[in-house]
Amino acid sequence: MLKLKDIIGLNIEISSRCGAGCPFCSRTKKVRHYGGHLITLEDFNKLPVSLLKGLEWITFGGNFGDMSSNHEMVDIAAYVRSLNPDVIIKGYTNGTLQDEVWWESLGTMFSTGEMVFCVDGLEDTHAIHRKGTDFNRIIRNMKAFTRTGGLAHWQFIVFKHNEHQIEEARQMAIQAGCSRFFIIFSREYNETCQKPETLDVQLKSDIYQSYQEKAIQNHEFARCKPLSNGSLYIAADGTVHPCCLAHCMYITEEFESFDFIIPCIEKYHKDINFKTTLLEEIISGSYFRETLKKSKTNAFCMMKCNTYKKEIKKKLIVKENLLK
């Protein structure tokens, strides 16, 4: 049975809202209604203090939203820091929401950890993929964040239309105070956002597939995240899951071989929301027990969570520069 003391990491979708319209985002693939949810500071206070004090890391990521669309993010990060000064705080953002003052305040909470700013090009190309975002505003917000000690990483998804701008973007990352600049391939490509021509594109799905086959050949079981690295995923609607993919599958149904998770979530949905049910009861309850058992031999779980995760993570990065 999973217990709170087993959890050292938390991936939390603090908001399901976003100011961008990226064409390959999970937001475009919903088959179930999933509206504009927020985890407020009042909600966050329902998480056990003992859990937050014992965390080694907390990531403000998510499947459908951008953490900067939650105006209470600064207060939530400050609350986490007050309970656990040494916790590593991470975040992912397109950086286009909120103003410089807000980002300066947030930067003080990220002196240990990282904020990944997803910036795919320069002023003339960035919004081709990150539709609805303002490049110049993002750079101002990034500089405000680093100005107060926040550790910023620039993630650059490479396409045909921006591959010639990689070095200029890297130089701009240095000027903005970033500590890391790295390039990844897109999960998909289309006629507008085409594959780069100067790089040998490896799709994420193909990389995972090759390691799934290796795991099957070696007769391995999947290593579900709560058991393998002691982490949980909390969606913006308050539901708690072993990983972000479980919740994403429930909303989008885009992973065919992960189909066992849908009836499982439907069966226990009313019992797995931390806003109304104690977190310890959720992770020791039927939903987690059933999911952890079935995940061991599920093909999708074996592809995403196997002993080769660290190798896969390295392969997903095309090029990396540590800037400091």
pLDDT bin (cut points 50, 70, 90) of residue 210 is low
pLDDT of 57 higher than 90:
yes
Question: Could you tell me which residue, 220 or 270, shows the higher pLDDT?
Answer: 270
pTM of the model: 0.93
Identify whether the C-beta of residue 186 lies closer than 8 Å to the C-beta of residue 159: yes
Predicted pLDDT at 144: 98
pLDDT in tens, 7-37: 999 999 999 999 899 999 999 999 999 999 9
Residue 189: name the closest of 166, 207, 205 by CA. Answer: 205
Predicted pLDDT at 208: 66
Taking the C-alpha atoms of residue 318 and residue 110, their distance in angstroms, rounded to an integer, is 26
pLDDT in tens, 165-191: 999 999 999 999 999 999 999 989 999
pLDDT in tens, 243-283: 999 999 999 999 888 999 999 999 999 999 999 999 999 99
User: Encoding tokens for residue 312?
Assistant: 């896969």
pLDDT of 307 higher than 80:
no
Q: Average of pLDDT values for 57-61?
A: 96
Taking the C-alpha atoms of residue 277 and residue 280, their distance in angstroms, rounded to an integer, is 9
pLDDT in tens, 86-106: 999 999 999 999 999 999 999
pLDDT bin (cut points 50, 70, 90) of residue 319 is confident
Please give the backbone phi and psi of residue 132, each rounded to the nearest 5 degrees, phi first: 85, 5
Averaged pLDDT of the chain: 91
